[in-house]
Amino acid sequence: MQGVGTSSTMREGFAVMGGDAGVPAMARLLFSVAAPSPVAVPPRDDAIDWAQLMAAVRSHSVAGLAGRPLAQTVLTAWGAPAPIMDTLSRHTRATAVNALWLARHTVRTYQALRDAGIPARVVKGAVEGVLSYGDLALRSFSDIDILVPPEQAPAAATALMAAGYLPAAPRALRFAGRPDIALSQLLFIKPGGTGQEPRTLVELHWRPTDRLVLLPIPMDQLMADAADVGIGGSVIATLPSALRILHLSSHAASHGWMKLKWVADIAHALSADPSAAAEAVELARRWRVMGIYAASCHLAARLLGAPRPEGLPPAGRREEGALARALPYLVRPLVGVERRGWRPPLRQLREELPLLDHLPAKLRLLRYYARPRTEDIEASAQDASLWRITLSRLGRLAMHGPRPPAAPG
């Protein structure tokens, strides 16, 4: 398999930066169908590998967006064959069915926490489908993300288990909510039932991101206010709009913007609520995460035509660097290379350090990578102390280097 630094992938990636004249047709088309306002521009003579394009649509989880009527008009204008459009329709329907299924469980998990007296905020997932995309069925997502105060994390875990959601990492339960560990979330799984009923994944978070420096707002301030959103006839709480958009940008940055869906989340949120996006500029300046928010906004604007928020600083070397690093990942599926869902920690560190606005944040980021996480806890003895787990992690890093996390069972 080719690496992300191979010449063909890099040429595809950096060509996208060269303006419309230099944009490869397949990348141009992929970005157009995921944009808030797809543009039916006249096709060029470039050959389109339609099967590869559909593979990229699936890999980047934007089948729901590509299946919108206006996006289908764009594909038809480019000469998409009927079998390709049929395939897209099947994936679009599957996205909608999955979204409706997870929306039902979103309400159930939120109500389980509410009934236990635990304040919770649902983020991403069904919330963005309704608020940013305007249609729950358009956003592809595979799990439910819920924020709770750190001190309530153990009680929230108990409430989810009582509702039938099983912890994927049982040994990590005793560390729920602790601030002195890299662990910031626990995964819970509700097994699938008989027939075609799928399993359901719930991520319980007590920090907004794994790397707190990417969104260093204390949880008591992050959750001080709530915005209500209606899903399936029920009302659930999420973050206020400006904080929600800032959270989306930090989430996308924490993954290196490697998936087009995460860039689309930002683009559609900016388009849906420009005033909240402008308010997020002030919040980013206050909490000294302007580098992360600006890079996210400029990336969404350059690739998907999203409006830049009022007051956003112009793109500089830092933002251009983020764009240059993200593009090769985004175009990998278009050139027949598997899209990576994981970056080695040292690469994450190199890519994230330039985005941080001040030296103390950079030092906190360095400290984060030495702290143990879920896989370290699960590999340790049941009653191992945090100090012993940390030493084991450092030893494994020294001997074997970082390893991709195992997929949940």
Q: What is the pLDDT of residues 4-26, one digit of tens each?
A: 333 343 344 444 444 444 457 78
CA angle 221, 226, 231 (to 5 degrees): 145
Chain centroid to Cα 3, Å, comes to 22
Least confident of 24-33, 55-64, 74-83: 24-33
> Does residue 53 sit in helix, strand or coil?
helix
% helix, strand, coil for the chain, step of 5: 55, 10, 35
What mean pLDDT is predicted for residues 373-382? 68
Please tell me whether residue 148 adopts helix, strand or coil conformation.
Answer: coil
pLDDT score, position 393:
65
Among 114-123, 186-195, 211-220, 338-347, where is mean pLDDT lowest?
Answer: 338-347
Selected residue with higher pLDDT from 71 and 371: 71
Looking up tokens 């989880």 gives: 61
Dihedral sign for Cα atoms in the order 178, 212, 182, 404: positive
- What average pLDDT does the segment 362-374 reach? 72
Structure tokens at 15: 């060509």
Residue 388 predicted with pLDDT over 60: yes
The two tokens of residue 108 are 């159930």
Residue 19 has a pLDDT of 44
> Looking at 1-5, 255-259, 328-332, 388-392, which range is the least confident one?
1-5
- Which phi and psi (to 5°) does residue 354 adopt? -65, -20
Percent of the chain surpassing pLDDT 90 = 56
Mean pLDDT of 323-351: 73
- Tell which wins on pLDDT, 138 or 402: 138
Calculate mean pLDDT across residues 191-211.
85
- Mean pLDDT to the nearest integer, 246-254: 94
Q: Please write down the long-range contacts of 85-90, taking CB distance under 8 Å and 24 or more positions apart.
A: 87/54, 88/54, 88/57, 88/63
Q: Which amino acid is at 157?
A: A
In this prediction the pTM is 0.86
Spatial distance between the Cα atoms of 205 and 186, rounded to a whole number of angstroms: 7
Q: What is the mean pLDDT of residues 161-184?
A: 88
pLDDT band at 99; cut points 50, 70, 90: very high
Classified as helix, coil or strand, 3 is coil
pLDDT-wise least confident of 214-218, 246-250, 311-315: 214-218
Residue-averaged pLDDT of the chain: 84
Contact 258, 340 (CB under 8 A): yes
340: CB partners within 8 A, 6+ apart: 4, 258, 329, 332
Give the pLDDT confidence score for residue 183 in this predicted structure: 80
Determine the pLDDT at residue 13: 42
The predicted model gives 110-138 an average pLDDT of 96
Backbone torsion region of residue 237, taken as left when φ is above 0, otherwise alpha when ψ lies between -120 and 50, otherwise beta: beta
In contact, 231 and 130? CB cutoff 8 Å: yes
